[in-house]
Structure 1
Amino acid sequence: MNEQHVFEGTDNAYGTSLSEQMKWLHEHALLRHPEVHRIAIALYDARHELLKTYVNSSDVQHPMSLYQKPLAASSSLTELATRHSTRVISDLASLPEPHAEHTRWLLEHGYRSSFTVPLFQSGVLFGFVFFDSRAPGAFDGALSLDLQIYVQLCRMSVLNVINLSHAVEGMVKVARGLAHLRDIETGRHLDRMSSYSRLIARGVSDHFGFGDEFIEHVYLFSPLHDIGKVGIADSILLKPGKLTDEEREIMKGHVDLGVQLVDEVMQDAGLGSTEYVSVMRNVVRCHHEFMDGSGYPRGLSGEALPVEGRIVTIADIFDALTTERPYKKPWSNEDALAELHRMRDAGKLDPRCVAALEDSGDEVRAIQQKFGLNA
Structure 2
Amino acid sequence: MNTQYLPSELSYYQMADSLNTQLQRLKSRMQAHLPELDRVSFALFDQQHKVLKTYADSAFWSLRQAHYEAPMNELPALMHCALQKENRIIDDLASLPSSKHVEMLLSYGYRSSAAIPCYEKDCFKGFIFLNSRTVNVFSEHSIELLMPYINMIKFSVVSENDIVHLIASTARQLFDEANLGLKDSQAHKERIGYYTKLIASYIADDYGFDDETVEHLSLFAQFHDIGKVRLPEQLICQHCQLDEVERAQMRDYIQHGMDIVDDILDSFGFPQHPSIMLLTEIMAYHQEYLDGSGYPKGLSGEQIPISARIVTTANVFDALTAHRPYRQAWSIPHAMLELEKMVNQGKLDRQCVNALREHQYDISVERDKYPEYDPKDF
Q: Same fold judged by TM-score > 0.5?
A: yes
Q: SS where residue 179 of structure 2 aligns?
A: helix
Q: How does 1:1-375 map to 2 (within 5 A)?
A: 14-58=15-59, 61-62=62-63, 65-95=66-96, 98-121=97-120, 123-172=122-171, 177-178=176-177, 180=179, 183=182, 186-372=185-371
Cα distance change of structure 1 residues 81 and 326 upon mapping to structure 2, 3 Å threshold = farther
Looking at structure 2, the residues matched to 185 and 31 of structure 1 have their Cα atoms a distance apart, in angstroms, of: 54
Looking at structure 2, the residues matched to 181 and 130 of structure 1 have their Cα atoms a distance apart, in angstroms, of: 44
Counterpart residue identity of residue 224, structure 2: H
Instruction: State whether residues 240 and 326 of structure 1, in contact with CA within 8 Å, keep that contact through their aligned partners in structure 2.
Output: yes
Q: Could you tell me the percent identity over the aligned residues?
A: 33
Cα distance change of structure 1 residues 187 and 151 upon mapping to structure 2, 3 Å threshold = farther
Provide the TM-score with structure 2 as the length reference.
0.85
Cα distance change of structure 1 residues 207 and 172 upon mapping to structure 2, 3 Å threshold = closer
Instruction: State whether residues 162 and 220 of structure 1, in contact with CA within 8 Å, keep that contact through their aligned partners in structure 2.
Output: no
Looking at structure 1, the residues matched to 330 and 341 of structure 2 have their Cα atoms a distance apart, in angstroms, of: 15
C-alpha displacement of 1:353: 0.9
Counterpart residue identity of residue 206, structure 2: H
Instruction: State whether residues 3 and 12 of structure 2, in contact with CA within 8 Å, keep that contact through their aligned partners in structure 1.
Output: yes
Counterpart residue identity of residue 89, structure 1: I
Instruction: State whether residues 113 and 132 of structure 1, in contact with CA within 8 Å, keep that contact through their aligned partners in structure 2.
Output: yes
Counterpart residue identity of residue 317, structure 1: V
- For 1:63-122, what per-residue CA distance to the aligned partner results, in whole angstroms no more than 9, with x for missing partners? 662233333332212323344433122333333xx4223223333433332211234455
Instruction: State whether residues 40 and 56 of structure 1, in contact with CA within 8 Å, keep that contact through their aligned partners in structure 2.
Output: yes
Cα distance change of structure 1 residues 39 and 294 upon mapping to structure 2, 3 Å threshold = same
Counterpart residue identity of residue 101, structure 1: K
Looking at structure 2, the residues matched to 310 and 132 of structure 1 have their Cα atoms a distance apart, in angstroms, of: 36
Looking at structure 2, the residues matched to 59 and 292 of structure 1 have their Cα atoms a distance apart, in angstroms, of: 34
C-alpha displacement of 1:184: 8.4
Structure 2: stretches of 5+ with no match in the other structure = 5-10, 374-378
C-alpha displacement of 1:151: 3.5
Q: SS where residue 131 of structure 2 aligns?
A: strand
Looking at structure 1, the residues matched to 236 and 209 of structure 2 have their Cα atoms a distance apart, in angstroms, of: 36
Q: SS where residue 56 of structure 2 aligns?
A: strand
- Compute the RMSD of aligned alpha carbons: 3.1
Counterpart residue identity of residue 58, structure 2: S
C-alpha displacement of 1:290: 0.6
Instruction: State whether residues 64 and 208 of structure 2, in contact with CA within 8 Å, keep that contact through their aligned partners in structure 1.
Output: no
C-alpha displacement of 1:60: 8.3
Cα distance change of structure 1 residues 321 and 166 upon mapping to structure 2, 3 Å threshold = same
Cα distance change of structure 1 residues 109 and 346 upon mapping to structure 2, 3 Å threshold = closer
Instruction: State whether residues 203 and 352 of structure 2, in contact with CA within 8 Å, keep that contact through their aligned partners in structure 1.
Output: yes
Cα distance change of structure 1 residues 174 and 74 upon mapping to structure 2, 3 Å threshold = closer
- For 1:15-68, what per-residue CA distance to the aligned partner results, in whole angstroms no more than 9, with x for missing partners? 312221221222222233333221011233455544332221149844662233
Q: SS where residue 37 of structure 2 aligns?
A: coil
Looking at structure 1, the residues matched to 200 and 20 of structure 2 have their Cα atoms a distance apart, in angstroms, of: 18
Structure 1: stretches of 5+ with no match in the other structure = none
Q: Which has the higher helix share?
A: 1
- For 1:225-259, what per-residue CA distance to the aligned partner results, in whole angstroms no more than 9, with x for missing partners? 11222222223223333434333222211111212
Q: SS where residue 136 of structure 1 aligns?
A: coil
Looking at structure 1, the residues matched to 274 and 61 of structure 2 have their Cα atoms a distance apart, in angstroms, of: 24
Counterpart residue identity of residue 43, structure 1: L
Counterpart residue identity of residue 93, structure 1: A
- For 1:181-202, what per-residue CA distance to the aligned partner results, in whole angstroms no more than 9, with x for missing partners? 6738622211111111111112
C-alpha displacement of 1:350: 0.8
Instruction: State whether residues 172 and 230 of structure 1, in contact with CA within 8 Å, keep that contact through their aligned partners in structure 2.
Output: no
